């Protein structure tokens, strides 16, 4: 079973497709939301560059927001928006 709600192939970077140096990126961060991300598979595998490099998800606001929106949309394929807001505390769509 996949550990990512968004990603079926966890052997490559979700952004660029590289297959080395992969790290888990929890889409919703912070102490509480990181635990919620882990419990609900709100995470993706990213190479070090796409995760922590210049323009990476940790520092690039637009990429970070894109991942949040994609994750929420995927969650809402099987759940209602209110469930998402109850989990994360915010609507990104």
Owning domain of residue 69: 22-88
Looking at the structure of the chain, the number of domains it has is 1
Residue 1 has pLDDT above 60, yes or no: no
**Is 2 within the bounds of a domain?**
no
Q: Cα–Cα distance between 31 and 1 in angstroms, integer? A: 25
Residue 77 CB burial class (10 angstroms; 0-12, 13-18, ≥19): exposed
**Is 37 within the bounds of a domain?**
yes
Q: Cα–Cα distance between 67 and 45 in angstroms, integer? A: 12
Contact 92, 61 (CB under 8 A): no
Confidence of residue 2 (pLDDT cuts 50, 70, 90): low
Helix (H) or strand (E) segment spanning residue 22? strand 22-26
**Is 31 within the bounds of a domain?**
yes
**Is 15 within the bounds of a domain?**
no
Q: What is the pLDDT of residues 13-65, one digit of tens each?
A: 999 999 999 999 999 988 889 999 999 999 999 999 999 999 999 999 999 99
**Is 3 within the bounds of a domain?**
no
**Is 9 within the bounds of a domain?**
no
Q: Cα–Cα distance between 82 and 37 in angstroms, integer? A: 17
Residue 5 has pLDDT above 90, yes or no: yes
Degrees, nearest 5: CA angle 23-16-61: 75
Residue 93 has pLDDT above 90, yes or no: yes
**Is 5 within the bounds of a domain?**
no
Q: What is the pLDDT of residues 62-84, one digit of tens each?
A: 999 999 999 999 999 999 999 99
Contact 69, 93 (CB under 8 A): yes
């Amino acid at each position: 079973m996949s550990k990512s709600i968004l990603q079926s192939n966890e052997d490559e970077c979700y952004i660029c497709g590289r297959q080395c140096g992969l790290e888990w990126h929890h889409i919703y961060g912070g102490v509480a939301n990181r635990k919620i991300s882990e419990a609900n598979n709100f995470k993706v595998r990213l190479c070090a560059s796409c995760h922590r490099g210049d323009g990476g998800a940790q520092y690039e606001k637009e990429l970070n927001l894109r991942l949040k929106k994609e994750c929420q949309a995927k969650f809402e394929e099987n759940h209602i928006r209110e469930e998402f807001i109850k989990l994360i505390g915010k609507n990104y769509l």
